[in-house]
Structure formats: C-alpha cells, structure tokens
C-alpha cells in the first residue's frame, strides 16, 4: 500500500513536472519522500530522491539537488543499479556544468559514458554527448563541441528523441552565435523552435526564442530582439523560472535601445 501511494505521488509529480508546474511537482515528491522514509523501500526511495533532485535542479536549488543526487547515488550503488548510477552521474555533471565547474562536469559525464557504453544505452548516450558538447564549447574546444553535437543528433534521431533534438539544435545555435555565424545560428534555432512547437513544449519554445533574441541583438535588430525576449519573459512568468528577473531587466535594456534607435531614425 505504501509503495502504491509513493508511486502514485511520484506519477502525479511527474505530470506536474512535464507541464512546468514545479511547485506542485515538488510538493508531490516531498509527500512521496515521507512515505518512502517510513516504508524503508530503498528502490522507491531512490526514485523519489531522484525526482526531488531533478525538480531542485531545474528550479535553481543546486546544492539541494546535489544533496538528493548524492543520496540517490549511494542507494543505487547498494542496489547495483548501473543504469540508474549512470543517470545520476550525468545529473551531478549537469549541476557542475550549471555552476561553471567544467572539468568536474566532464569527469562525471565521462564516468557516466563508460557505464552507458557498457549497457548499450543509446538514449542516455545521445543526451550525454550533447552535455559533453556544452563542456567542450565552454572550454574553448569549439571543433570538438560541434562533433559531439553532430554525433548526439545522429543518436537522437535513431532513438526518436525529438525533444532532445530540439535541445541539440539550440545548443549548436549558441555555438554558432559565439562564432558570429548568425545565419547558421538562426537556422539551427528555427529548427529547434519548429520541433518544440510540434511537441507543444512551451519551455523549449522559450529557450529557442531566447537564442533568437540574442541573434537579433547581436545584429542590432532591436525590434526583433525585443519581440522574442517578450515571449521569453511571458514563459518565465508563467512557470516562475529562475531567470525571470534577469530576462526582465534585459528586456528593459533592449527596449531602451529600440527607443533610442527609433529616435535617431526619426531625426
């Protein structure tokens, strides 16, 4: 009965999570955690802790997420769950990447990759390759980054991960943007946006709009940059995302530049 209650709470939490309702998802997982602690079911506990780690990670509570993932990892090692271990290592890598700890992130990713290769986990490897691409890009290894992204896309298509493809195209766009290759950046971003729209995934649409805003800002096309960033802020507000304040301030700055450019044009 307790297992069923935990599973139901986690399932409901996952539904909220998939819709971007993070507060409601966290509440469900927290209730499931109470059940699991009382019940002593280590597998159920590992699942719930992993979900709590995920929700904390996406909502900017990095240290809390790290604590949950570390406990998950200890349980998975006891249970001998190699697939679960590889996923948790990748999640810890993501936290390190979010903190800009690139070498630490790379170490976690490579350890996870060894397990995924052993398990022939193509779906997991596809995501991990895109993560390694990000690390390579941020550490100045741009050729290697593009290679990781391209290999990731091949695997994403093979396993049918459309959401992942949207993410990789957006990551490639950011790489091209950093190289001032604006046409290629915009093309990749529009591909990412098309996939996100097909999936009706507002969060990924917001991510694509953010990169499009950056493309137009880099070109001094203030009106288009403002238009896309307004869309981003609406998504931030709807889902109470961590960068709402930062993006709102950026939108104000862009709006001022647009107004100034309009004044110059009208003189």
What confidence tens digit (pLDDT) does each residue in 113-122 have? Answer: 999 999 999 9
pLDDT tens digits along 81-93: 999 999 999 999 9
What per-residue confidence (pLDDT) applies to 263?
65
| Distance, CA of 115 to CA of 83 (rounded, Å) | 7
The CATH topology of domain 166-261 is 1.25.40
Residue 66 pLDDT class (50, 70, 90 cuts): very high
What per-residue confidence (pLDDT) applies to 241?
85
What per-residue confidence (pLDDT) applies to 30?
96
Supply the mean pLDDT for the chain. 94
Q: Which long-range contacts (CB under 8 A, 24 or more apart) does 209-216 make?
A: 209/235, 210/247, 211/170, 211/173, 211/174, 211/177, 211/185, 212/186, 213/254, 214/174, 214/177, 215/173, 215/177, 215/182, 215/185, 215/186, 215/189
- pLDDT score of 103 more than 80: yes
Domain boundaries of the chain, sorted by first residue: 1-80, 166-261
Beta-carbon neighbour count of residue 136 at 10 Å?
A: 21
Same fold, 1-80 and 166-261: yes
Pick the CATH number of 1-80 from 3.75.10.10, 3.40.50.2300, 1.25.40.10, 3.40.190.80: 1.25.40.10
- pLDDT score of 2 more than 80: no
Bigger pLDDT: 19 or 174? 174
């Amino acid at each position: 009965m307790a297992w069923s209650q935990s599973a139901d709470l986690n399932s409901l939490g996952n539904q909220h999570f998939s819709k971007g309702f993070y507060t409601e998802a966290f509440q469900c997982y927290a209730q499931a955690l109470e059940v699991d602690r009382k019940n002593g079911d280590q597998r159920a506990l590992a699942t719930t802790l992993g979900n709590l780690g995920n929700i904390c990670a996406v909502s900017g509570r990095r240290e809390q997420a790290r604590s949950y993932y570390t406990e998950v990892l200890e349980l998975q090692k006891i249970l001998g769950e190699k697939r679960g271990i590889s996923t948790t290592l990748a999640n810890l890598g993501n936290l390190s990447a979010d903190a800009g700890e690139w070498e630490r992130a790379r170490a976690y990713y490579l350890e996870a990759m060894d397990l995924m290769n052993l398990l022939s986990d193509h779906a997991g490897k596809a995501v991990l390759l895109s993560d390694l691409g990000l690390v390579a890009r941020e550490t100045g290894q741009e050729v290697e980054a593009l290679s990781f992204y391209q290999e990731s896309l091949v695997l994403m298509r093979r396993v049918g991960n459309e959401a992942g493809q949207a993410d990789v195209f957006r990551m490639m766009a950011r790489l091209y943007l950093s190289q001032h290759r604006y046409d290629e950046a915009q093309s990749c971003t529009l591909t990412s946006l098309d996939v996100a729209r097909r999936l009706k995934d507002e969060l990924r649409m917001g991510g694509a709009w953010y990169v499009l805003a950056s493309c137009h800002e880099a070109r001094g096309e203030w009106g288009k940059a403002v238009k896309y960033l307004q869309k981003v802020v609406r998504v931030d507000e709807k889902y109470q995302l961590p960068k709402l304040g930062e993006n709102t301030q950026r939108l104000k700055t862009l709006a001022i530049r647009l107004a100034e450019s309009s004044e110059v044009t009208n003189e």
